[in-house]
Amino acid sequence: MPTSQSSAPPAPASAGQQQTLSRPSMPIWSGRRAQVVLPVGALIVALALPFVFDMFFGYSAGFQLHRISLIYIFALAAFAQNILTGYAAQPSLGNAAFFGLGGYLVAWIAGDLGQPFWLAIIIAMIASAGVGVIVGGPALRISGAYLAIATIGLVLIASSLFDFWDTTVGRMSYDINTLPGVLGDDHSLYYVVALVTIIVFAAGAVLLRSRIGRAWIAIRDSESAAQAFGVNLTYYKLLAFIVSAALTGLAGSLYAIWAQTANSSMSSVDETIVFLAMIVVGGLGSLLGSALGALFVGFLPLLLGQLPSPLNVGGLSIQVSTLTTGIYGLLLLLALIFFPAGLASGRDALKSLLARRAHVGGSNE
Amino acid sequence: MSDRDSAGLLSVRGLTVRFGGLIAINALDLDVPAGGIFALVGPNGAGKTTLLNCISGFVAPSEGALTFDGVDLLTVGRHRRAALGIGRTFQNVQLFSSMTALGNVLTAQHAHLHATFFTSLLPFGPAIAEDRRAREVGRSTLALLGIEQYCDAVTGTLPFGVQKLVGVARALALRPRLVLLDEPAAGMTLTDVRQFAESLRRWRDELGVTFVLIEHNMALVQNVADTVCVLDYGRKLAEGRPAQVLADPAVLEAYLGTAGRQEGAHA
Amino acid sequence: MQAFLQVTFSGLVTGSLYGLLALGLVLIYRTTGVLNFAYSALSTFGACFLYVLLTSRGMNFWLAVPLSLIFAAVLGAVVERLFARPMLHAPIFTKAIATLALALVLRTVEQAIWPQLAQTEHFQTPFETAAIHVGGMYLTAAALLSLVVVAIVVVALTLFLNRTRLGIAMRASADNQPVAQLMGAPVGLIFLMTWSLATVIGALGAILLAAQQRTIDITYMDPVLLLAFVAAVLGGLDSLPGALLGGILVGLVENWLALAFAGHHIGPLDISAPGIREALIFAGFILALVFRPQGLLGKAELRRV
Peptide bond into A310 cis (omega under 30): yes
The pLDDT score that the predictor gives to residue A108 is 95
Instruction: Specify whether the CB–CB gap between B191 and B156 falls below 8 A.
Output: no
Nearest to B58 among A210, A224, A230 (CB): A224
The CA distance from C167 to C158, in Å, is 9
The CA distance from C281 to B157, in Å, is 47
- With 90 as the cut, is the pLDDT of residue B46 above it? no
The CA distance from A354 to A145, in Å, is 40
Chain A contacts in chain C segment 46-65 (CB below 8 A): none
- Rg of chain A over Cα atoms, rounded to whole angstroms, equals 23
Contacts of A200 in chain B (CB under 8 A): none
- Chain B contact present for A141, CB below 8 A: no
What is the amino acid identity at position A217? Answer: I
**For chain C, which chains pass the contact test of at least 3 CB pairs under 8 Å?**
A, B
Nearest to A217 among B82, B94, B99 (CB): B99
Instruction: Specify whether the CB–CB gap between B228 and B237 falls below 8 A.
Output: no
Burial grade of B98 (CB within 10 A; 0-12, 13-18, 19 or more) = middle
CA A351 to chain C, closest CA, distance in angstroms equals 25
Q: Hey, is C270 helix, strand or coil? A: strand
Q: How much of chain A, in percent, has pLDDT values that exceed 70?
A: 81
What value does the mean pLDDT take over residues A330-341? Answer: 76
The CA distance from A70 to A193, in Å, is 9
* Mutant choice from A140, A149, A233, A272 vs C, greatest count of C C-beta within 10 A: A149
The pLDDT score that the predictor gives to residue B129 is 92
Q: According to DSSP H, which parts of chain C are helical?
A: 2-32, 39-56, 61-79, 92-113, 141-163, 165-175, 177-182, 187-213, 222-234, 240-261, 274-291
Nearest to A229 among B110, B117, B154 (CB): B110
**Closest alpha carbon within chain B to A204:** B121
Instruction: Specify whether the CB–CB gap between B140 and B172 falls below 8 A.
Output: no
The pLDDT score that the predictor gives to residue C163 is 87
Give C39-65 pLDDT, tens digit per residue.
999 999 999 999 999 998 888 999 999
The pLDDT score that the predictor gives to residue B267 is 35
Select the more confidently predicted residue: A15 or A356. A356
CA B83 to chain C, closest CA, distance in angstroms equals 21
The CA distance from A34 to A29, in Å, is 6
Q: Taking the CA atoms of A182, A187, A190 and A195 in sequence, report the sign of the dihedral they define.
A: negative
Confidence of residue A28 (pLDDT cuts 50, 70, 90): very low
- Chain A contact present for C130, CB below 8 A: no
Instruction: Specify whether the CB–CB gap between C24 and C205 falls below 8 A.
Output: yes
Packed helices C274-291 and A117-139: angle between N→C axes, nearest 10 degrees: 50
Instruction: Specify whether the CB–CB gap between A166 and A174 falls below 8 A.
Output: yes
Q: How much of chain A, in percent, has pLDDT values that exceed 90?
A: 39
- Chain A contact present for C117, CB below 8 A: no
Give A216-237 pLDDT, tens digit per residue.
999 999 999 999 999 999 999 9
Instruction: Specify whether the CB–CB gap between C202 and C46 falls below 8 A.
Output: yes
The pLDDT score that the predictor gives to residue B73 is 93
Instruction: Specify whether the CB–CB gap between C242 and C235 falls below 8 A.
Output: yes
Contacts of C111 in chain A (CB under 8 A): 319, 322, 326
Q: Taking the CA atoms of A276, A281, A283 and A284 in sequence, report the sign of the dihedral they define.
A: positive
DSSP class per residue in B39-74: EEE-STTSSHHHHHHHHTTSS--SEEEEEETTEEGG
Give C207-265 pLDDT, tens digit per residue.
999 999 999 998 888 888 989 998 998 887 877 888 999 999 999 999 999 888 887 77
Residue B207's H or E segment, with its range, is helix B190-207
DSSP letter assigned to residue C121: E
The CA distance from B15 to B64, in Å, is 4
The pLDDT score that the predictor gives to residue B7 is 54
DSSP bridge pairs for B15 = B28
Contacts of C86 in chain A (CB under 8 A): 337
The CA distance from C37 to C43, in Å, is 11
Nearest to A143 among C285, C293, C305 (CB): C293
The CA distance from A20 to A8, in Å, is 16
What value does the mean pLDDT take over residues B95-107? Answer: 95
> Maximum distance among all alpha carbons in chain A?
77
| SS3 per-residue string spanning chain A | CCCCCCCCCCCHHHHHHHHHHHCCCCCCCCCHHHHHHHHHHHHHHHHHHHHHHHHHHHHHHHHHHHHHHHHHHHHHHHHHHHHHHHHCCCCCCCHHHHHHHHHHHHHHHHHHCCCCHHHHHHHHHHHHHHHHHHHHHHHCCCCHHHHHHHHHHHHHHHHHHHHHHHHHHCCCCEECCCCCHHHHCHHHHHHHHHHHHHHHHHHHHHHHCCHHHHHHHHHHHCHHHHHHCCCCHHHHHHHHHHHHHHHHHHHHHHHHHHHCEECHHHCCHHHHHHHHHHHHHHCCCCHHHHHHHHHHHHHHHHHHCCCCCCEEECCEEECHHHHHHHHHHHHHHHHHHHCCCCHHHHHHHHHHHHHHHHHHCCCCC
Q: Hey, is B77 helix, strand or coil? A: coil
What value does the mean pLDDT take over residues B10-16? Answer: 94
- Chain A contact present for B106, CB below 8 A: yes
Contacts of B93 in chain C (CB under 8 A): none
- Which of A18-22, B130-134, B142-146, C46-50 has the weakest average pLDDT? A18-22
The pLDDT score that the predictor gives to residue A55 is 86
Give A232-272 pLDDT, tens digit per residue.
999 999 999 999 999 999 999 999 999 999 999 999 888 88
ipTM for this model: 0.90
Confidence of residue A15 (pLDDT cuts 50, 70, 90): very low
Say whether C101 and A329 touch across the interface (CB within 8 A). yes
Confidence of residue C304 (pLDDT cuts 50, 70, 90): very low
The pLDDT score that the predictor gives to residue B6 is 47
Instruction: Specify whether the CB–CB gap between C281 and C275 falls below 8 A.
Output: no
Instruction: Specify whether the CB–CB gap between A27 and A286 falls below 8 A.
Output: no
- Which of A7-11, A145-149, A312-316 has the weakest average pLDDT? A7-11
The CA distance from C122 to C162, in Å, is 40
Q: Hey, is B19 helix, strand or coil? A: strand
Give B214-264 pLDDT, tens digit per residue.
998 888 999 899 999 999 888 998 899 998 888 888 777 776 555 444 443
* Mutant choice from C28, C282, C299 vs A, greatest count of A C-beta within 10 A: C282
- With 90 as the cut, is the pLDDT of residue A9 above it? no
- Chain C contact present for B50, CB below 8 A: no
The CA distance from A332 to A316, in Å, is 24
Strand pairing class (B210-214; B178-182):
parallel
The whole model's pTM is what? 0.84
**Closest alpha carbon within chain C to A273:** C100
Say whether C270 and A168 touch across the interface (CB within 8 A). yes
Contacts of B54 in chain C (CB under 8 A): none
Say whether A239 and B82 touch across the interface (CB within 8 A). no
DSSP letter assigned to residue B149: G
Number of B–C residue contacts, CB under 8 Å: 3
CA distances from B12 to A64, B15, B25, C224 (A): 71, 6, 11, 57
The CA distance from A304 to A350, in Å, is 28
The CA distance from B117 to A132, in Å, is 16
DSSP letter assigned to residue B235: E
Burial grade of A121 (CB within 10 A; 0-12, 13-18, 19 or more) = buried
- With 70 as the cut, is the pLDDT of residue C119 above it? yes
* Mutant choice from A85, A333, A337, A338 vs C, greatest count of C C-beta within 10 A: A333
Q: Taking the CA atoms of A46, A51, A55 and A57 in sequence, report the sign of the dihedral they define.
A: positive
- Chain A contact present for C297, CB below 8 A: no
The pLDDT score that the predictor gives to residue A213 is 96
CA distances from A358 to A365, B19, C152 (A): 8, 57, 68
Among candidate residues C70, C96, C103, the one with its CA nearest the CA of residue C197 = C70
The pLDDT score that the predictor gives to residue A346 is 56
